[in-house]
Structure 1
């Protein structure tokens, strides 16, 4: 080991302490919340569920324009009309985020017809809800394309302009199942774990890019059509989240520039326990997380 590496190793504890102090200072002295009045927000899977609530909340908090993407025009049209009635300019585009060429084409249409997107919310997702051996191969591919690869395409489509403007925010509506998988939704858990790694890597890559930030949201079981088949071990202690709660907390996290949001806050304990408990004790953690039994082939917020 040469002297330079020796110095770096000696200074490492001091760097760690400095990072901790900086984080503590940000908690005690939070930055001024982001003013959304100049922002154009694009939400994938925005026609229903959490996506619709996000459109409502961004409108409520004063976003200049709201754009919603999804695969079902009827839902998109209904949501867009509601947002317009609230006094916010709203546009919708039919788009399957799992289709790369469709994403790039619609992104071009957005720039031409609406303008630059400054907040991108990757919310679209589907769940197949089968065990590995019972799953159809095409269904497995579809969930990976929408839940994971779709974020690659949307981020590649809108991030370059955010970097040019030095003004942007990438948001991912993920799931606590990215950190604690359950049986019966192997496609969803796998795709969400991949999505979490994508956002973590993206966040680190943007540290030196002024004005462009990220937020990853990891909610527990949310009471939407998508997760009607979810079974939680202690439903009275950990009731399902309301979509409007997830939306409100997400927008707050964007305004406060929080990189990570677990909902509810007790999910932090789950992460800590998984890190410190011996392997033999992890069975109880996995049992706590629940299971999933899907009634239909596909459910999702697309």
Structure 2
């Protein structure tokens, strides 16, 4: 399952992202508009055409200016997020940890990395749902339990050495309203989606900081930017994961003096995994999300990823809208969870016993 070429149509078909990418590579690409601008201004034939078609000439100038501004902004994003410092990665020696790597998006991440012979450690309460390639190692871990995280982390270091990349990918959702959610539901959601990020970072970041080399990837969600009914706890936990990423990025530089330790944030929309089966919006394929994460990891540079890419221009900006518009937007999401029947793994640490209290959407995994 090699990484899909960027020149191929997306698995999701022709989308708004496809249109925007096409425009970025043509009309808003300075490599295309600059020659046209130079020809229009510094050749006799070009000057004649501009005199005859003044609107077209002005359009080329505007497109060139916008393209240059976009390129400069992208350059600044990359340089500032990476503290204007480069680093070298030897993927024969790096060790990548993927939480929730037994299935879903995590499974695709693991297999893409394994195809390149990269050593991968999977932390998951489920057994692998696929045959592990030679470079993949599984460690049983209940991510809702700090003692289990500590035990699995110790076993991992003993077997493989200190990890250099941590991908916090595991997640869970219960799909209940605020009044229907039990204490166990809330603790499970926040333990897996938020607190596990802290506990795993505390285990693996010190060695990365000491070497001034490493990466931590936070797989959050667009739900961290916008809250919908019947998933308030999930949205809140993902908002906390986004804040974790943002705070970690600046602490690495200002507190730990480790400017080469990279941070990557992925905020993806609804993805076609068992966790969100039946969710009522347009969807992404898990392979699409996994490929973007793996490409960012292999670049070895900090990044902020969003899928669909065009959602970046809308969803995170909602909080800057007038309050009435925000409220109307959230009310418009009232039906997205109506047909949801997603499944999740219930961690043994939740003490649910023999399927007691587990709805049909849950999967009990015994230790």
TM-score bucket of the superposed structures, by smaller chain:
0.7 to 0.9
Residues 26/184 of structure 1: CA separation in 2 closer, same or farther (3 Å cut): same
Contact kept, 8 Å, 1:49 with 1:224, in 2: the verdict is: yes
Aligned length: 267
Alignment partner of 1:37: what SS? coil
One of 141, 155, 158 as aligned partner of 1:112? 158
Matched, 1:133 2:185: no
What displacement does 1:34 show?
5.1
Matched, 1:153 2:153: no
Residues 299/262 of structure 1: CA separation in 2 closer, same or farther (3 Å cut): farther
Q: What residue number does 2:280 align with? A: 231
Q: What residue number does 2:295 align with? A: 252
Q: What residue number does 2:263 align with? A: 214
Contact kept, 8 Å, 2:102 with 2:124, in 1: the verdict is: yes
Q: What residue number does 2:5 align with? A: none
How far apart, in 2, do the equivalents of 1:243 and 1:39 lie? Answer: 24
Contact kept, 8 Å, 1:34 with 1:254, in 2: the verdict is: no
How far apart, in 2, do the equivalents of 1:214 and 1:223 lie? Answer: 25
How far apart, in 2, do the equivalents of 1:129 and 1:32 lie? Answer: 42
Q: What residue number does 1:173 align with? A: 219
How far apart, in 2, do the equivalents of 1:114 and 1:185 lie? Answer: 38
Matched, 1:280 2:328: no
CA RMSD of aligned residues (A): 2.7
What displacement does 1:57 show?
1.5
Q: Indicate the structure (1 or 2) with the bigger Cα radius of gyration.
A: 2
Matches within 5 A, 1:50-89: 50-63=105-118, 65-73=119-127, 76=128, 78-79=129-130, 81-84=131-134, 89=135
Alignment partner of 2:92: what SS? helix
How far apart, in 2, do the equivalents of 1:194 and 1:171 lie? Answer: 14
- Give ranges in structure 1 of 5+ residues lacking alignment: 1-18, 233-238
How far apart, in 2, do the equivalents of 1:170 and 1:90 lie? Answer: 19
Contact kept, 8 Å, 1:127 with 1:299, in 2: the verdict is: no
**Superposition TM-score, scaled by structure 2 size:** 0.66
